[in-house]
Structures are given as C-alpha cells and as structure tokens.
Structure 1
Amino acid sequence: MKTLAHSFRRAAADGSDSRVERAVIDESPVAIEVNGIGYAVMMASAYALEDFATGFALSERIVATAGEIDALDLHETPRGTIVRMAVPPARAAAVMERVRRRTSDSSCGLCGMDNLDAVHRDLPRVPDSSAAPAAIFAALAAMRDHQPLNRATGAAHAALLCDAHGAIRVAREDVGRHNAFDKLIGAMARQGLAWDGGFALLSSRCSYELVEKAALAGCPMLVTVSAATSLALDRAAAAGLTLVSLARDDAVLFGAHMR
C-alpha cells in the first residue's frame, strides 16, 4: 500500500501554530482498456489493481466470470497506471457498444432512455444469508484492525469479506468506496472464494451502485457503516439482498429485505 508524506501547517483553537508531517493516501488515475479500447479512467489507490480490474469487469458486466479475462497487464506511466485487459470477442462486442453510447451521450452521465433503463436493469436473485446480528457486531469490532491504510491516512474506505460468524476473511482498501468493493470482489474471484453464507461490510454509505455490485457478485448480505439511499433500498429488495445500514457497535438497521 502506498502513502505519501506531506507537510501541513497546523492551526489550533488555542492560537498555536506549527508544522506537522502526515501520511497522505495515494490517489492516481487508473485507465482501464479492454481489447485495446479505452473503457474508463478511475481515480484509485494504486495497490491490488489486478483485484480492482477484475472486480470492475465483473461489476460492469464486461465479463460474467473472472475466467473470461484472457489477460490482465499493468503498465505504470508517469501520469498513472494503464490496466490492459483482454476478453473474448463475444464480450468485446458489448464493450464496443457501451463505449459508443458513452461517446454519443451528453455530459450529465445518465442521459437518454438507454441509460435510464440500464439503471433499472434486472439483477440476479442472491442466496439467503445465515449471518445473525451478533456476527455483524463481531465484524464491526474487528474492522479497524483490517484498515491499515485508513489508520495511516484517515482517508481510505474498506470492503471486507466476513464469514457467517463475523470473522474477517479478506479486506481491501481504496480512496474510493466503489473501488474498495471492486477490489474485494476481484480478490474473491481471483482466489476462488465464495460468500458461504457470510456478508460484505463496507465503511461507507450505501448507494445503488454498491447494491448492484453486491447482487452481481452473489453477496447475500451487504452491511454499510452509514445510511442507505432510497434507490439502494429498492434495488436490494428487487435482488432479495439483505441490506443492513447505519451499522454501529450498539445497533444496526435491517432495511430492504428481511429474511
């Protein structure tokens, strides 16, 4: 994990003034190319980028399984990292169509009927979660121990794979909450790990994109430290995903889908 040292001027309420050194989280451009076509440029923390690219490809439905990624290469440049991914020709055709639509769409990001339909596209039904509230509290208590980048910088999100008893099996961090979850999903896919009745714990609020990633990854329960949005709750209900938000050490909220 990469951090950078930076000097700050510290002004205190008591009127004192000093210089301090702090670790700063790495944030740099990561360009993702699919079969030689520029697909996206993401701002990310440049570690575990193989996991990130794999999870991103699964979340974007570029591939259905990690095994469909024929090659994955990282190229460092002075301005950032280029991730070059090769997928089968049948998958590449869909990539080309999405790139074409992005080029023709206006700059608002979700303009046009095609994009609005895409927001509400069907999600797979996820399996039941066997995790009890006690498991969530156990994972929350252990969460900080698995966030070295955030401890050093105070600026990283975490995504954790927790088993049905709350033990943390895999952790990934990134400056972006979506990126952290993509890294976790990619790490699981590359290592052949399943949810096995466990759940994902994220150190962020829950927007609909995170629900989509969870559903596509077959995650039975998604737990977030902060609140969920209305669309996240609706999309979780559509996928049968157990969505838990405002997860604190004394209480949690079960929202969209209660088993």
Structure 2
Amino acid sequence: MFKKIPCIPIDDGSAGQTTRDAAEETPIAIFVNGRHMTTAILSPARFEDFITGYLYTEEIIRNVDEIESIRIEENRISVLTRDIFKRVSTKKTILSGCGGAVSYIDTEKLPSINSDLVISVPEIVGVIAALLATDARIPAGRIEAVALVAGGSIIARSEDIDRHNALDRVIGYGL
C-alpha cells in the first residue's frame, strides 16, 4: 500500500536527500452487470471488501447474497448481480473530496435511522487512540483510517488515500 519515494525534506532550515513512504493509488474501472459504473482511485488492497461495501452503500445491493460473482483484474473489477438486468441509476450526486466523487443514491429516499445504540465518549476516544497507535502514517496525515468496532474492540480496520474508500472496505468486510 506504500512505496518509497525519493525526497528532500527541509527541517529547521536544513535539507537532505532521503526516502519517505507514499500511499499508492491506482485507478480501478468498476463494471456492474457488464456496464461501466464508475472509475475509482483506490489504494491497492482488499478490492473484494471495497466493491462489496461500495455496492451496498450505493444501494446497488441490499445484501451480499445479491452478488453472483466478483472478478478482480488489473485496473478492473467486474461484478455480476443475481438480477443481471438491474441498472445503476443515472442520477448522480457530486460529493466533496479530492476527486469530485459521485454517489448514485437518491438522498431524498434515504430512510431515517431509529436506534437505541449508545456509545460513551471514553469508548470513542479509546478506539481512536488504538487505531492511531497502530500506524504512525495515520496521525501524520498520509492516509485515512477507518475501523469497525464492537464492544470497544476493533474488529476490522482499513486505510486508504480516501476515507470513503476505507469506509466501504470495512463495511464490505462486515457484510
């Protein structure tokens, strides 16, 4: 997920040649039922978790049983759903973010969430501290990190150049 790149950091007025970790990114064309849906810029890891979570969060699938197959190739992910005639919506919402990402969800039709889930502030602080402690590149701002948590313990974590991609990966893992 990282590669060493040569650089000349300038610290306290002095400069010296060295190498630093840089997050890798790769364009991946996503096809659903033979139709190009989008091209995503992703960190090169856990593509199956990503596509499962992405299709779920974009409401292309309601559960993983709707996925017939996933084929991952170089720079392409092809998915067949059980309903091969299902089409991706043509309505797009432009999202904030580096790449001007889009969503196919009709925000007017989002359900309201009713939950009695309560999470204490110390639990949130503890999990964030645990997540940040696992990799020094996260607090340095070099990558975004997301965790799936239950009972104060991290079940799954993901990193990416974009937090939305990292979130889709942990959602896909959870599904």
TM range (shorter): 0.7 to 0.9
Question: Are residues 1:155 and 2:157 paired?
Answer: no
- How has the CA–CA distance of structure 1 residues 148 and 187 changed in structure 2, closer, same or farther, with 3 Å as cutoff? farther
Deviation at 1:27, TM superposition (A): 1.0
Letter in 2 for 1:38: H
- Compared CA separation, residues 3 and 120, structure 1 to 2 (3 A): same
* Structure-2 separation of matches of 1:9 and 1:172: 29
- Separation (CA, whole Å) in 2 of partners of 1:126 and 1:146: 33
Give yes or no for contact 1:25–1:175 (8 Å, CA) kept in 2.
yes
- Give the alignment partner of residue 171 of structure 1, picking from 134, 152, 157: 157
Q: Match for residue 87 of structure 1?
A: 81
Distance 1:137 1:154, change over 3 A: closer
Q: Which has the higher contact order (CA 8 A, sep 6+)?
A: 2
CA contact (8 A) 2:2 2:24 kept: yes
Partner residue, 1:128:
116
Report the aligned-residue RMSD. Answer: 2.5
Given that residues 66 and 83 in structure 2 are in contact (C-alpha distance below 8 angstroms), is that contact kept between their aligned partners in structure 1?
Answer: no
Counterpart of 1:11 in structure 2 is: 10
Would you say 1:65 and 2:63 are equivalent positions? yes
The Cα offsets for residues 57-83 of structure 1, whole Å up to 9 and x where unpaired, read as 00010000011111011001xxxx200
The letter of the residue matching 1:137 is V
Q: Aligned partners of 1:33 and 1:89: how far apart in 2?
A: 14
147 and 61 in structure 1: CA distance in 2 versus 1, 3 angstrom threshold: farther
Ranges in structure 2 where 5+ consecutive residues have no aligned partner:
96-102
Task: Give the 5 Å matches for 1:96-245.
Answer: 98-99=89-90, 101=91, 109=94, 118-147=106-135, 150=138, 154-164=141-151, 166-189=152-175
Change (3 A) 1:4 1:122: same
The count of aligned residue pairs is 167
Structure 1 unaligned segments of length 5 or more: list them. Answer: 103-107, 190-259
What SS is found at the alignment partner of 2:133?
A: helix
**Identity percentage of aligned residues:** 24
- Alpha-carbon distance in structure 2 between the residues aligned to 1:161 and 1:148: 19
Choose between structure 1 and 2: higher helix proportion: 1
Contact map agreement 1:7 1:22 (CA 8 A) in 2: yes
The AA in structure 1 aligned to 2:69 is A
Taking a change above 3 Å as real, the CA distance of residues 94 and 145 of structure 1, as seen in their structure-2 partners, is: same
- Change in 2 beyond 3 A, CA 1:3/1:38: same
Offset at 1:128?
A: 2.1
Aligned position for 1:44: 42
The CA deviation string for residues 74-128 of structure 1, in whole angstroms up to 9 with x for no partner, is 001xxxx2001001226x4332xx24x56xxxxx948xxxx9x923322252432
Q: Deviations over 1:142-169 (max 9, x none)?
A: 1123447637x842111111223x2212
**Given the superposition, is the C-alpha separation of residues 124 and 32 from structure 1 closer, same or farther in structure 2, using an over 3 Å criterion?**
farther
TM-score calculated relative to the size of structure 1: 0.58
SS across alignment from 1:94: coil
Is 2:68–2:80's contact at 8 Å kept on the other side of the alignment? yes
